[in-house]
Amino acid sequence: MIDTAKLDAVMSRCPVMPVLVVNDVAQARPMAEALVAGGLSTLEVTLRTPCALEVIEEMSKVPGALVGAGTVLNPSDMDRAVKAGARFIVSPGLTEALVKASIAHDVPFLPGVANAGDIMRGLDLGLSRFKFFPAVTNGGIPALKSLASVFGSNVRFCPTGGITEESAPEWLALPTVSCVGGSWVTAGAFDADNIRQRATAAALLKV
Ligand code: 3PG
């Protein structure tokens, strides 16, 4: 069964979900500590680097961190992520195989949608929470407003892709947006102090 309340709890913890692409496992703990210290504790570790599963394991040891896996493309990715300790799963798109696997694992699953057809397939499968991806390329705020007007307030989103510290507040002001995702908080050369500062600013943004 799809547990929407469990997914809502993940999405509503923080206004911004950092999307993390970590190439060096040694950075995992200090990066997660800096994010949590700044107030961002819901961390999406993308499976885009060879050490991503180890990064999930390391970040999961940081008190207060809720670590999930992103860029999960198929059930075998999901199996590996859950075994590594991922407590929620994000994917760039929606497949029935992933929805079934998330039910089997009883893990909150946030799939990407780009248009009305994607959302309708999700609704048919019992989902009502989606990552709007890639948010800016897909038409940005006007596009999400148009989709929201069709599907109503029971369908909620985490827009991701092209969102910045400057544009995040406008997205977060939309009534159907629970949080936004973005890589800006950790972008650039690793610098724990700087990450903590950016996280602090992001955590203060209002939903
Ligand atoms: C994602 O994986 O969700 C996106 O790559 C994040 O997009 P951004 O880098 O534009 O924030």
Query: Given this model, what pLDDT does residue 207 score?
Result: 66
Q: What is the pTM of this model?
A: 0.97
From the CA of 182, give the closest atom in ligand 1.
11
Does pLDDT of 206 surpass 90?
no
Residue 153, pLDDT > 80, answer yes
**Predicted confidence (pLDDT) per residue in 78-124, tens digit:** 999 999 999 999 999 999 999 999 999 999 999 999 999 999 999 99
Mutate to test the pocket of ligand 1, among 131, 160, 198 (most ligand atoms within 8 A of CB): 160
Atom of ligand 1 nearest to the CA of 136: 10
Counting other chains too, the contacts that 4-9 makes at CB distance below 8 Å and 24 or more residues apart are: 4/128, 4/129, 6/108, 7/88, 7/108, 7/109, 7/110, 7/129, 8/129, 8/156, 8/178, 9/108
